[in-house]
Amino acid sequence: MGAFAFAPAQQATGTPGVVRRAREGDFAAFEELYRRNVGRVYGICLRLTADPAVAEELTQQAFVRAWRKLGSFRGDVEFPAWLGRLAVNVVLGERRQRNRRRERAFDDDAAAAEPETRAEPHEALDLERAIAALPDRARAVFVLHDVEGYHHEEIGRALGIASGTSKAQLHRARRLLREALR
């Protein structure tokens, strides 16, 4: 199965009863939550990292962290949304840890110096592959904004950049994607 194999359509996820049982330590309930949400979590991890092996590792970390933090889930948002945010935090936390120095260098000037795209210019790419071929920062901003629905202020805080930089990176990502998909 390829890295971009689509999961089956999801049923309604995170019903309160299953979440409650998982919070009480019922691993079978947690497994049910895993089955229902692994596609969403892996999707976030893969789109943000563009690396299937890393995405698998981070997906596992996200679920382990979810297990630990279930007690803090209050139900004021849907469980998949809570889990999705947690997954994003895991990916970005890992990214910060591994690329701390590089992350700090990612201001407007450094971003402008990134290679325009790793995609073959005339290759027909579907959207997933085109996203994977984006430069790291542009990809992260595009996935968080256009796929996951984050605002620029939130992205700025998460990535340690100005919201204006987030916006510029989003426009750049869209431009590169349009070119790649033509």
Interface residue list for other proteins (CB under 8 A): 1-7, 9-10, 27, 31, 34-35, 38-40, 42-43, 46-47, 52, 55-56, 59-60, 63-65, 67-68, 93, 97-98, 100-101, 127-128, 142, 146-147, 149, 167, 170-171, 174-175, 177-178, 181
Distance CA 137, CA 90 (A): 16
Q: Rounded to the nearest whole angstrom, what is the least distance from the CB of residue 17 to other proteins in the complex? A: 20
Residues 6+ apart with CB under 8 A from 63: 34, 38, 41
* Between 152 and 161, CB nearer to other proteins: 152
Minimal distance, residue 27 CB to other proteins, in Å: 7
The rounded distance, in Å, linking the Cα atoms of 157 and 93 is 12
CB nearer to other proteins: pick between 7 and 110:
7
CB 5 within 8 A of CB 71: no
Closest alpha carbon to 108 in 78, 82, 141, 132: 141
